[in-house]
Structure 1
Amino acid sequence: MKTQENHPEPSNPLGIDGVEFIEYATAEPLALGAVLETMGFVQVGRHRSREVVLYRQGDMNVVVNADADSWSSTDAEHGATSLTAIALRVRNAGEAYQHALDRGAWAIPTRAGAMELNIPGVHGAGDSVIYFVERYPDFSIYDVDFKLADAARAHPPALAGLHFFGVVQAIRRDRSAEWIDFYQQLMNFQPLPSGTGFGILPRGTMLASPCGKFCLQLVEPPEGTDDVHWDEELIRVGFGTPDVASAMALLAERGVTFVDRPPVQPSEKGALTQMFRGSVNFELVASPALN
């Protein structure tokens, strides 16, 4: 009889099931929307009462928030574009929220107005928020707060198999252990072995979600850059694709340009888009192992 090893499934106390949406706060929603459209996203909805727009492709949702009254990011208030929130799909949003609070997370004040859905969330890096969303398989959060496009346009296919691979977070020097503990205690993210890297920017500590569907990358400032200003914040979204070269070709046809100079040169492992207005870029990552 063939030997069978016992490898228990990673603990997933919150029933995390991937990323529901990521959110940008911006004073330039049309410009950012145009950038997202070159990346294959389609505008599929507008908020019923706020200046907030929903973009989608495949299973990915991106919220562009130009409602200054709801911003918590000081960068956004000064006209920049900031990555301000990650919403996680969970089994029960209320239970996930309480679980996080019980383990030391800081609650954020509710921002829901009249006739709006209240999405529970806690403070993340810098001014960012981690939301917990349970309404995603059938009836969704967007059915409440957004005026959605017709069914034929509401679910555009993903370009080149793009999907959320992960989010990169800048942290201050020697703070990796604290942030690893934060994500382990709250949601049972687990650090991958030292030296594990994906894409063309492997520097940093990789944390895998308990559902195995996405990663977080913690990046400290490089050595010898003590005079460089380095905030703790979310800085970049990574999109997984089964074929980086094919994805690059399709995106290039749509007007996306990629960084092509040492040490950040495209390869079969990944590619990095040029920076938009000094604050937004995206990473392509070959990711068959995590999806």
Structure 2
Amino acid sequence: MSDLLHHPEHAREPLQASFSDEANPIGLDGIEFIEYTTAQPQALGQVLEMMGFFPVARHRSREVTLYRQGGLNIVVNAHPADVAGSTHGADRPSLSAIALRVRDARAARAYVLAHGAWEVPTHPEAMELNIPALHGVGGSRIYLVDRYRDFSIYDVDFLPIPNVQPSGQAELPGLRFFGVVQYIGANRAYDWIEFYATLLGAQLIPDEQRFGIMPAGKLMQLPALEAGNTFMLQLIEPSIEDSDSRESLQRIGLGVPDVLDAVRRLRARGVEFVESPAAHTEQRGALTKAYLGGVVFELVHSQPKVTP
């Protein structure tokens, strides 16, 4: 199964003979989008616009809006059934999905299912794409997308918003997805390390190697992203005094080549940052205040790789 329109098996493209290698078992090639689910799409949209993301397209049949900044896509899903399933009744938006670019979605799906992943059943409407999805942390999903070049998933499932630049202007120079922070249950770090290593080929980063200003937990790096850039998974267990041990995706890390310049630009747009002895703006990183009960972005110093 690939992210294709419904066609019989004989009409589909054959599996690619070499879609991966030992270090990159699913043929990972980048991050297509990160998704929020929320019953407050307008309020979340205002936060995203402060961060420099702007709406460029809307889903044909569902209450879903695509926000973009440069090459980064954030999806805001306000479809009632999805909101009920992802937010668990909470008022705050939920980080509900990460879509991975892979060279062959059918082959990647076959690999992860053979290695213990649980598939999420999908129910596309007529003429919508059927994108493979796996169960992730706290009810989130991991999508496998292989249509991301000249003809992308948005060309089928979304309608452009009139008079909007589809590429999304880049408010922050050199911006990219750096990673996500994941809250996990007590003593669950090595379960999740095994999960990401086995299914995605992620590698554990030594404890002495850290990025940004929030160095807690275990850090993993996904393999072979586009242009040689990295994507990190930060796994954080609850502290002894923390009674909330629910597992979830907690915040997005955004890589920028100049943190202080990015903070200056975002403050001019109305974004507020945490300034305390424990976490404060510096060239290594910065943390926004929590919006809408828990929407947080972390800026991390990251020089984008340049392909020769």
The two structures have a TM-score, normalised by structure 1, of 0.92
Q: CA deviation at 1:73?
A: 3.6
Once the two structures are TM-superposed, the CA of residue 173 in structure 1 deviates from its matched residue by 1.3
Whether 1:36 and 2:48 are equivalent positions in the alignment is yes
Partner of 1:6: none
Cα-Cα RMSD: 1.7
Q: Tell me the CA shift for residue 204 of structure 1.
A: 1.1
What is the DSSP-based 3-state SS (H/G/I as helix, E as strand, rest coil) of the residue aligned with 2:110? helix
Q: CA deviation at 1:149?
A: 3.5
Match of 1:185?
A: 198
Number of residue equivalences: 281
1:92-118, CA deviations, whole angstroms, 9 ceiling, x for partnerless residues?
011111111111010101131122111
Deviation, 1:43, is: 0.5
- Alpha-carbon distance, 1:137 to partner: 1.3
1:283 aligns with 2:295: no
- The 1-side partners of 2:97 and 2:269 are apart by 27
Paired with 1:248 and 1:171, the residues of 2 have a C-alpha distance of: 29
Q: Quick one: distance in 1 between partners of 2:83 and 2:121?
A: 12
Structure 1 pair 244/165, CA: closer, same or farther in 2 (3 Å)?
A: same
| 3-state SS, counterpart of residue 161 of structure 1 | coil
Measure, in 1, the Cα distance between the counterparts of 2:29 and 2:302.
17
Secondary structure (helix, strand or coil) at the match of 1:221 reads: coil
More displaced 10-residue stretch of structure 1: 241-250 or 74-83: 74-83
2:225 is the counterpart of 1:216: no
Report if aligned partners of 1:68, 1:77 keep a CA contact under 8 Å in 2: no
Amino acid at match of 2:285: G
Matched-pair contact (CA < 8 Å) for 1:87–1:133: yes
Does residue 206 of the first structure (1) align with residue 219 of the second (2)? Answer: yes
Residue 254 in structure 1 maps to residue 269 in structure 2: yes
Kindly indicate whether residue 198 of structure 2 is the aligned counterpart of residue 197 of structure 1: no
Q: Is the 8 A contact 2:257 2:304 kept in 1?
A: no
Task: Write the distance in 2 (CA, Å) between the matches of 1:273 and 1:290.
Answer: 25
Aligned counterpart, 1:99:
111
Residue 186 of structure 2 corresponds to residue 173 of structure 1: yes
Q: Distance in 1 between matches of 2:237 and 2:22?
A: 27
**Is residue 119–residue 133 contact of structure 1 (8 Å, CA) maintained in 2?**
yes
Selected match of 1:238 from 240, 253, 271 = 253
1:60 aligns with 72
SS of residue in 1 equivalent to 2:234? strand
Query: 2:128 touches 2:157 (CA, 8 Å); kept in 1?
Result: yes
Structure-2 residue corresponding to 1:137? 149
Per the normalisation by structure 2, the TM-score is: 0.87
Distance 1:150 1:213 in 2: 34
Q: Counterpart of 2:165?
A: 153
Say which of 34, 38, 41 aligns to 1:22: 34
- Matched residue type, 2:214: L
Q: CA deviation at 1:288?
A: 2.1
Distance 1:77 1:169, change over 3 A: same
1:225-281 Cα deviation digits (max 9, x unpaired): 14x212111010000000000000000110000000120111110000010121211
Unaligned runs of 5+ in 2: 1-20
Contact 1:25 1:73 in 2 (8 A): no
**C-alpha distance in structure 1 between counterparts of 2:45 and 2:138, whole Å:** 24
